Amino acid sequence: DQQVKQNSPSLSVQEGRISILNCDYTNSMFDYFLWYKKYPAEGPTFLISISSIKDKNEDGRFTVFLNKSAKHLSLHIVPSQPGDSAVYFCAASSTQGGSEKLVFGKGTKLTVNP
């Protein structure tokens, strides 16, 4: 049972345009969400996070939006740059159930074309 879903395995956008990566979750107990970026043969690096008490968090070109009623979050990258080409993982966490470990989606491969 996949609790965190990234339904688009890949996304291609033009340099300078907006990239929108989507993530859905099923567990209503999730209260903290993160996005990680991963280049080939490297470990993922933290990008941005959001707590369930907020609906938006912004950091430079990156903005994460959270819609709790829809159990949906999205990552917006504006403007997109070729260096943003990577796999992006959505992750979620809950303090309930005695385990704080992150649950990851399967990732979306973003390609930004020059």
Partner 1 sequence: DGGITQSPKYLFRKEGQNVTLSCEQNLNHDAMYWYRQDPGQGLRLIYYSQIVNDFQKGDIAEGYSVSREKKESFPLTVTSAQKNPTAFYLCASSTQREDSLNYGYTFGSGTRLTVV
Query: How many positions of this chain bind partner 1 (CB under 8 A)?
Result: 23
H or E element that contains 67: strand 62-67
Name residues whose C-beta falls within 8 Å of residue 41's C-beta, 6 or more positions apart in sequence: none
Q: Is 106 in the site for partner 1 (CB under 8 A)?
A: yes
Minimum distance, C-beta of residue 49 to partner 1, in the bound complex (Å): 6
Q: Is 41 in the site for partner 1 (CB under 8 A)?
A: yes
* CB neighbours of residue 12 within 10 Å: 11
CA 18 to chain CA centroid, nearest Å? 15
Residues that bind partner 1 (CB under 8 A): 6, 9, 32, 34, 36, 41-46, 49, 89, 91, 93, 95, 100-102, 104-107
